[in-house]
A = this chain, B = another copy of it.
């Protein structure tokens, strides 16, 4: 019951897979790095970032609620599972 409650608090965590996210992140690495440290000054570091925040950011880029020249394009085809996995992967890197 406690585990169920915990799963409900972070609604994305039950489906998120770090390894699948890492594979998907190959398309993110030019700007955000496979280490989650940005390679261009206008991109944010993502290593260790809050998972819920990353999920919201990707969903907002996908829906158009948040706009960015690059992210609005690359987020468009992502599924909910892609987003959950990418968020889990970047969250798993760096500072805990």
Contacts and interface: CB of A to CB of B under 8 A. Distances in A.
Interface of A: 10, 37-38, 41-45, 47-53, 56, 65-67, 94-95
Copies in the complex: 2
A53 to B, nearest CB: 5
A47 B47 CA distance: 11
The 8 A-B residue pairs with the shortest CB-CB distance, nearest first, are: A41-B52, A44-B53, A38-B50, A42-B52, A45-B49, A41-B50, A44-B49, A66-B66
Nearest to A9: B41
B45 A50 contact: yes
Interface of A is mostly: loop
Contact of A53 (B10, B42, B67): B42
